[in-house]
Amino acid sequence: MAKIVNAMKTIQGKAINIKSSILGRITFKNKYLNRNDYIRIGGNLSFLQKGYAATIMASEERKTSLPYCIVDDLEEFNEGDVVLINSDGSIVFLYEINVHSNVIMATERCNHRCIMCAQPPIVNEIDKTPFNLKLISLMDKKSKEIGISGGEPTLIGDNLFVLIKQIQEKLPAASISILSNGVRFADINFAAKLARCRHRDLQIDIPIFSDIAEIHNKIVGASTFYKTIQGLYNLAQFHQQIGIRVVVQKQNYRRLPQLADFIYHNFPFVAQVAFMQLEIVGIALNNMDEVWIDPFDYNRELKEAVLLLNQRGIDSYIYNSQMCILPEELRPYSVQSISNWKDIYIDECDGCKFRGKCAGFFASNKDYHSTHIRKVVDA
């Protein structure tokens, strides 16, 4: 089983008798059936029983041939989490029982090279589909929402529909959100295959970064603007639920109002539009001069775009932004959208009435954020 390294919660432990990566569902209980699907959390040698995929402990034990991993704090784990223990002792949380929306990484390959990408793509990889099918089977059957992302998930071809079918079967209560650049859906036959999955609650979120092809193409690093547009129309033809995402940055903020008008006139069928504050990690960190702008400085354009869409009946939201820097008219549209494990507040947030409601900050943005952050108190 290949080692997985990606933008997910990870803690470091010490691996003993672990030669290759081990996938399993966390349990604090004794299991008698399907024990090999479970990773046992235990505190002494008596818990190192045969049959578990592995054991995670907080203290080192006597000699044993059984696989286990030593960590500093067992409180990181919850009954029902699904983790991957790698041979170097790193433990990756692939599914967290207490998180509303978990994400499956279909592939780390991508046919775009976005200048602000938080997850730099790779060229070659082992097919993750068998691994992801097993991962889905270990998730809690009552899961409410599962994301499929990448990389570009459509690059796995028909295996994308295999994953959807597995979610339908194993997690019948879960909605599905697919984050895709939309290019592959320019092939109407591929769009038709998605429609034939007939999932009761599936949304495809597709980024459009500008109403001008040259600007969009420069941002994504590929001449694919019109293929993305065709993909949107093909999906709409099959009555698929579609969202549009806009990562706001120096290259595109000036034309946010024009982009909003473009979306309204050309894609009135979309379910929602999300304007997203930039995460400073991955490729974005290497392109700071090209992408970074203080979010406070594009408030005028953001306000016009968000209000234009909402007033015309297209739900529009703001992701990853801090309440204190937004005009009051925009605060109702701000969404808490940052994953718990990488969401932080900074000293300026102490005593702010929006703390807990505000999106906070990506941990990677601790040193890259608006200079206008301030606590807000009741007058």
Q: Give mean pLDDT in consecutive 10-residue pieces for the chain, a chain of 379 residues.
A: 58 95 95 91 69 89 84 94 97 94 95 93 93 98 96 98 98 97 98 97 98 98 98 98 98 98 98 96 93 97 98 97 95 88 89 90 86 87
Judgement on whether residues 151 and 61 belong to the same structural domain of the protein: no
Judgement on whether residues 125 and 50 belong to the same structural domain of the protein: no
Domain containing 219 equals 101-365
Give the C-alpha separation, 173 to 284, whole Å: 36
Judgement on whether residues 164 and 276 belong to the same structural domain of the protein: yes
Judgement on whether residues 79 and 129 belong to the same structural domain of the protein: no
Judgement on whether residues 266 and 287 belong to the same structural domain of the protein: yes
Q: What letter represents residue 16's amino acid?
A: I
Instruction: Give the orientation angle of helix 213-220 with respect to helix 225-237, to 10 degrees.
Output: 100
Specify if 206 maps to a domain. Answer: yes
Residue that the structure tokens 């990773």 belong to: 39
Judgement on whether residues 170 and 254 belong to the same structural domain of the protein: yes
Residue 59: CB atoms within 10 A of its CB come to 9
DSSP structural state of residue 354:
T
Of 209, 197, 190, the C-alpha closest to 115 is 209
- pLDDT value at residue 6: 47
Judgement on whether residues 232 and 269 belong to the same structural domain of the protein: yes
**Tens digits of residue pLDDT in 127-153:** 999 999 999 999 999 999 999 999 999
Sign of torsion, CA 181 183 184 189?
positive
Q: Look over the chain and give the mean of its residue pLDDT values, rounded to a whole number.
A: 93
**Contacts for 299-304: CB closer than 8 Å, 24+ residues apart:** 299/325, 299/326, 299/327, 299/330, 301/253, 301/254, 301/255, 301/256, 301/257, 302/248, 302/253, 302/256, 302/275, 302/330, 303/327, 303/329, 303/330, 304/256, 304/257, 304/260
Specify if 371 maps to a domain. Answer: no
- How many domains is the chain partitioned into structurally? 2
The tokens describing 137, both together, are 């089977």
Give the C-alpha separation, 137 to 139, whole Å: 6
pTM of the full predicted structure? 0.92
Q: Are the C-beta atoms of 271 and 243 separated by less than 8 Å?
A: yes
Q: What letter represents residue 236's amino acid?
A: A
Judgement on whether residues 29 and 112 belong to the same structural domain of the protein: no
Question: What CATH number did the domain enclosing 33 receive?
Answer: 3.50.30.10
Specify if 158 maps to a domain. Answer: yes
Specify if 14 maps to a domain. Answer: yes
Domain boundary among 93, 117, 146: 93
Question: What CATH number did the domain enclosing 239 receive?
Answer: 3.20.20.70
Judgement on whether residues 335 and 224 belong to the same structural domain of the protein: yes
Specify if 5 maps to a domain. Answer: no
Judgement on whether residues 174 and 254 belong to the same structural domain of the protein: yes
Domain boundary among 60, 93, 126: 93
Helix segments in the chain, DSSP class H: 129-138, 159-170, 188-196, 213-220, 225-237, 256-266, 283-286, 288-291, 299-311
Domain boundary among 43, 67, 93: 93
**Tens digits of residue pLDDT in 305-314:** 999 999 999 9
Judgement on whether residues 120 and 55 belong to the same structural domain of the protein: no
**The length of the chain, given as a count of residues:** 379
- C-alpha angle with apex 5: 190 to 93, nearest 5 degrees? 95
Specify if 374 maps to a domain. Answer: no
Judgement on whether residues 160 and 226 belong to the same structural domain of the protein: yes
Specify if 163 maps to a domain. Answer: yes
Specify if 140 maps to a domain. Answer: yes
Give the C-alpha separation, 121 to 114, whole Å: 10
The tokens describing 69, both together, are 């991993």
Question: In degrees rounded to 5, what are phi and psi of residue 27?
Answer: -145, 145
